């Protein structure tokens, strides 16, 4: 009986600590990948910063590529939470919902710590279509383009797909230029440009 209790206790302890280690790895990777880029960060730095061992990482993720893909799935969930926040603030008003996001993006993109969109950055880092991280990013961007088309149609745009493409180009430009110019960059004009683009596209 004592032997059985000891074995059970060991298993329980392992099961309790494993999720904690996995969460530390996930949180650390998210911070480092966003700030420094996925390629620039190695497994050694992640486990060191997270305070875990390499075996702990590989118990949860088969490879760094899988961890990078998981980081982007987490990033995408956070993105949609922010992007769709306007729906609660402005129910039934697609234009106000979109501008709710754009106004907040303009604020974030002029901050010194801004590193753009993690999903866009991943596409730049991994040009090959077969990388797990790029696949997550590509799928997300297609969803965003489709969502913008839905919102453009709801606004009454003459050509919803054209407006959606214009808005997507505007957003992607902001993600990139925010990192280049900071507070005095083009992102400070994002709201005004978006309004003009939408106004010009309405019936």
Mean pLDDT (the chain) is 90
In this structure, are 189 and 109 located in the same domain?
yes
Q: What's the confidence (pLDDT) of residue 3?
A: 45
In this structure, are 110 and 28 located in the same domain?
no
In this structure, are 135 and 73 located in the same domain?
yes
In this structure, are 116 and 16 located in the same domain?
no
In this structure, are 45 and 104 located in the same domain?
no
Look at the alpha carbons of 171, 175, 180, 181 in this order and tell me if their dihedral is positive or negative: positive
In this structure, are 41 and 116 located in the same domain?
no
140 pLDDT more than 90? yes
**202 to 59, 78, 137, 177: CA distances (angstroms):** 53, 30, 30, 27
107 pLDDT more than 50? yes
% of residues, the chain, pLDDT over 90: 81
171 pLDDT more than 90? yes
The helix-helix angle for 94-108 and 64-83 (nearest 10°) equals 120
Specify whether the CB–CB gap between 125 and 111 falls below 8 A: no
In this structure, are 46 and 71 located in the same domain?
no
Geometric angle at alpha carbon 120, from 60 and 99, rounded to 5°: 115
Q: For residue 83, give every residue at least 6 positions away whose Cβ sits within 8 Å of its Cβ, in sequence order, or none.
A: 101, 144, 147
Specify whether the CB–CB gap between 116 and 178 falls below 8 A: yes
Specify whether the CB–CB gap between 133 and 118 falls below 8 A: no
Per the structure block, which two tokens stand in for 35? 């700030």
What are the tens digits of pLDDT across the range 41-89?
Answer: 999 999 999 999 999 999 989 999 999 999 999 999 999 999 999 999 9
Of the residues 27, 61, 95, which one is the last residue of a structural domain? 61
Whether pTM exceeds 0.95: no
Strand partners for 169:
none
Q: What's the confidence (pLDDT) of residue 190?
A: 96
Q: How many domains does the chain fold into?
A: 2
12 pLDDT more than 80? no
Q: What's the confidence (pLDDT) of residue 183?
A: 82
Domain that holds residue 99: 65-203
Q: What's the confidence (pLDDT) of residue 5?
A: 43
What are the tens digits of pLDDT across the range 26-45?
Answer: 999 999 999 999 999 999 99
Distance CA(165)–CA(170), nearest Å, equals 9
Q: What's the confidence (pLDDT) of residue 108?
A: 94
In this structure, are 70 and 150 located in the same domain?
yes
**Nearest C-alpha neighbor of 133 from the set 187, 61, 194:** 61
The model's confidence at residue 203, banded by pLDDT at 50, 70 and 90, is: confident
Q: What are phi and psi of 4, to 5 degrees?
A: -65, -40
Which CATH number belongs to the domain containing residue 152 in this structure? 1.10.357.10
């Amino acid at each position: 009986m004592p032997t059985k209790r000891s074995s059970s206790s060991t298993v329980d302890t392992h099961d309790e600590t494993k999720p904690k280690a996995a969460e530390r790895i996930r949180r650390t990777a998210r911070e480092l990948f966003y700030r420094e880029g996925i390629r620039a960060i190695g497994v050694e730095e992640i486990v060191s910063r997270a305070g875990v061992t390499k075996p702990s990482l590989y118990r949860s993720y088969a490879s760094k590529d899988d961890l990078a893909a998981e980081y982007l799935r987490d990033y995408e969930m956070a993105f949609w939470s922010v992007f769709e926040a306007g729906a609660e603030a402005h129910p039934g008003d697609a234009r106000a919902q979109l501008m709710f996001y754009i106004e907040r993006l303009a604020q974030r993109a002029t901050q010194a710590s801004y590193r753009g969109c993690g999903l866009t950055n991943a596409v730049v880092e991994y040009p090959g279509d077969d990388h797990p991280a790029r696949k997550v990013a590509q799928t997300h961007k297609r969803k965003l383009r489709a969502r913008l088309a839905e919102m453009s149609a709801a606004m009454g745009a003459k050509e919803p797909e054209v407006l959606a493409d214009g808005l997507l180009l505007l957003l992607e430009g902001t993600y990139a230029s925010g990192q280049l110019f900071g507070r005095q960059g083009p992102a400070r004009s994002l709201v005004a440009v978006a309004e003009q683009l939408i106004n010009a596209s309405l019936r």
